[in-house]
């Protein structure tokens, strides 16, 4: 058997191989008259896919991660703020036993009481009685004013405590916000490093 | 200059090459690579050129496995499948091996489906319009192991040389040479046995 002829048709032809070639040549591929009917694919879709293919995985993954991190951070901050506001309001409405009432409650005007009100809605018949009472009323008013100011003075430490608690909460919130921003910056920095590495790999091996 | 080389130089001057990635110089890439990248960029004519280059290989691979009457339809099936899935090919230079694998899988799929639907009569080969001697020689080649029959069909039926077979299928030239030599030896024995009966 002529191995060269079998390999690349070089050298003296082998009779049996030639006979087989002639016999089997009738089964050889013949190009069809009509071209291959390829499925229609829109030019826009093709160009979009060609544009997306090399850049899709790393860049889109990084961008999506950043967006998710930012959304999560914003949501978390909003939740914290809502919680701190809700806690203050709850304390204002339902103060704990032993806790002094907050400032808004302390400064609420007292409800009107009949005998205390010197003028009120009095009938004309009671004018004499009322003039008799008027001699007593200033003392009562002075006494009531003194008791109110004493009550207000007693509530001052409670107001200060509430203000201090609120300012501490604001400070804690700001500290948490700063920590979150720092974490986001670190994440973004790391993602940038990963993207640079991926781009470097793609430049070295552009076919894959 | 070989056909592949001429095709490569011609392609370098076409617009298809402009769409190829610019990171690697075009002269370092095979014409198949340039064509595959052009197809990925939406050039349908480039796929037509790939079809012309690889249709004999796909035809040979299928002919080694399925009835002659079915081969032409299956060749089209294989190329349509390749066109749809070409974006999944990671290395454009490996197109030949990838396409050969699609053709082999399609042949396996054909036999699986045929078993599920109906049994074909055994004398179908004799009833077809193929030359009886050629059909008998092809039947004998099909009795050989997979690697040998595929290489022999590409060499004896499609008229490809050993180096061309290696280039198209992605096999090493040494493997193709061994397959051709051993396959031909086995075929000669079978032909002798048949003629001796």
The pLDDT tens digits of the residues spanning B83-121 come to: 999 988 888 889 999 999 999 999 999 988 876 666 555
pTM over 0.80: no
Asked if B137 and A1 come within 8 Å (Cβ–Cβ), the reply is no
Q: What is the mean pLDDT of chain B?
A: 81
Nearest to B161 among A8, A20, A41 (CB): A8
- A47 interfacial to chain B (CB closer than 8 Å): yes
The length of chain A is 208
d(CA B34, CA B17): 6
B90 neighbors B33 (Cβ within 8 angstroms): no
Evaluate if residue B6 carries a pLDDT over 50. Answer: no
B171 neighbors B165 (Cβ within 8 angstroms): yes
Average confidence (pLDDT) over A2-17: 86
Evaluate if residue B26 carries a pLDDT over 60. Answer: no
Evaluate if residue B33 carries a pLDDT over 70. Answer: yes
Question: For residue A41, what pLDDT band results from cuts at 50, 70 and 90?
Answer: low
A132 neighbors A178 (Cβ within 8 angstroms): no
| pLDDT at B5 (0 to 100) | 44
Most confident of A28-32, A80-84, A144-148, A181-185: A181-185
d(CA A6, CA A20): 11
The CA-atom distances, in angstroms, between A143 and each of A136, A153, B53 are 11, 15, 112
| pLDDT at A60 (0 to 100) | 77
Torsion over CA: B193, B194, B195, B197 (sign): positive
d(CA B92, CA B100): 14
| Region of B42 on the Ramachandran plot (φ > 0 left; ψ -120 to 50 alpha; else beta) | left
**Who's near A105: CB < 8 A, 6+ residues apart?**
A92, A95
Which stretch of A46-60, B65-79, B174-188 has the lowest confidence by average pLDDT?
A46-60
User: Which chain B residue shows the shortest CA-CA distance from A14?
Assistant: B184
CB pairs under 8 A between A and B: 98
DSSP state of B145: -
Average confidence (pLDDT) over B47-71: 93
DSSP state of B155: I
| pLDDT at B11 (0 to 100) | 39
Evaluate if residue A132 carries a pLDDT over 60. Answer: no
Better-scored residue on pLDDT, A12 or B58: B58
Q: What is the percent of chain B with per-residue pLDDT over 70, rounded to a whole number?
A: 76
How many whole angstroms from its chain centre is CA A126? 69
Tokens for A198, please give them.
């991926």
Q: Using CB atoms within 10 A of its CB, is residue B23 exposed (0-12), middle (13-18) or buried (19+)?
A: exposed
Question: Chain B closest CA to A169's CA: distance in Å?
Answer: 55
The CA-atom distances, in angstroms, between A90 and each of A74, A85, A101 are 24, 9, 12
A59 neighbors B90 (Cβ within 8 angstroms): no
- A20 interfacial to chain B (CB closer than 8 Å): yes
Average confidence (pLDDT) over A50-68: 73
Question: Chain A closest CA to B6's CA: distance in Å?
Answer: 19
Torsion over CA: A32, A34, A40, A46 (sign): positive
Average confidence (pLDDT) over A24-43: 77
- A4 interfacial to chain B (CB closer than 8 Å): no
- In terms of Cα–Cα distance, which of A203, A38, A98, A206 is closest to B86? A38
Q: State pLDDT tens for residues B132-180.
A: 888 999 999 999 998 899 999 999 999 999 999 999 999 999 999 999 9
For the complex shown, is ipTM > 0.85?
no
- B183 interfacial to chain A (CB closer than 8 Å): no
Asked if A50 and B41 come within 8 Å (Cβ–Cβ), the reply is yes
Average confidence (pLDDT) over A152-179: 88
Q: What is the mean pLDDT of chain A?
A: 73
Which stretch of A45-59, A96-110, B92-106 has the lowest confidence by average pLDDT?
A96-110
């Amino acid at each position: 058997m002529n191995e060269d002829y079998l390999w690349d048709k070089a050298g003296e032809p082998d009779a049996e191989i030639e006979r087989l070639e002639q016999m089997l040549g009738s089964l050889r591929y013949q190009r069809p008259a009509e071209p291959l009917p390829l499925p229609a694919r829109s030019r826009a879709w093709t160009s979009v896919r060609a544009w997306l293919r090399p850049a899709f995985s790393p860049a889109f993954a990084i961008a999506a991660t950043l967006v998710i991190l930012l959304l999560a951070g914003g949501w978390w901050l909003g939740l914290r703020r809502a919680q701190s506001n809700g806690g203050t309001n709850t304390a204002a409405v339902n103060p704990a036993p032993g806790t002094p009432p907050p400032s808004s409650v302390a400064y609420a005007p007292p409800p009107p009481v009949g005998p205390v009100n010197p003028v009120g809605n009095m009938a004309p018949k009671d004018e004499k009685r009322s003039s008799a009472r008027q001699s007593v009323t200033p003392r009562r008013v002075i006494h009531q004013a003194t008791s109110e100011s004493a009550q207000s003075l007693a509530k001052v430490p409670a107001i200060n405590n509430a203000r201090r608690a609120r300012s501490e909460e604001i400070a804690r919130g700001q500290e948490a916000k700063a920590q979150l921003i720092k974490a986001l910056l670190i994440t973004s920095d790391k993602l940038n490093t990963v993207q640079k590495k991926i781009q470097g790999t793609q430049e070295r091996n552009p076919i894959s | 200059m070989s056909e592949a080389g001429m095709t490569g130089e011609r392609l370098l001057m076409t617009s298809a090459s402009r769409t190829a990635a610019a990171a690697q110089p075009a002269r370092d890439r095979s014409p198949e690579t340039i064509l595959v990248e052009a197809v990925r960029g939406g050039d349908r004519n480039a796929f037509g050129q790939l079809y012309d280059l690889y249709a004999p290989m796909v035809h040979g691979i299928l002919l080694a496995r399925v009835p002659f009457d079915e081969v032409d339809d299956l060749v089209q099936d294989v190329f349509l499948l390749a066109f749809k899935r070409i974006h999944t090919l990671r290395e454009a230079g490996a197109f030949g091996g990838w396409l050969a694998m699609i053709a082999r899988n399609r042949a396996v799929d054909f036999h699986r489906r045929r078993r599920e639907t109906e049994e074909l009569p055994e004398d179908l080969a004799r009833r077809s319009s193929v030359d009886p001697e050629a059909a008998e020689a092809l039947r004998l080649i099909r009795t050989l192991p997979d690697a040998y029959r595929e290489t022999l069909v590409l060499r004896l039926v499609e008229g490809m040389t050993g180096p061309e077979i290696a280039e198209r299928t992605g096999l090493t030239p040494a493997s193709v040479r061994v397959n051709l030599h051993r396959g031909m030896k086995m075929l000669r024995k079978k032909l002798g046995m048949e003629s001796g009966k």
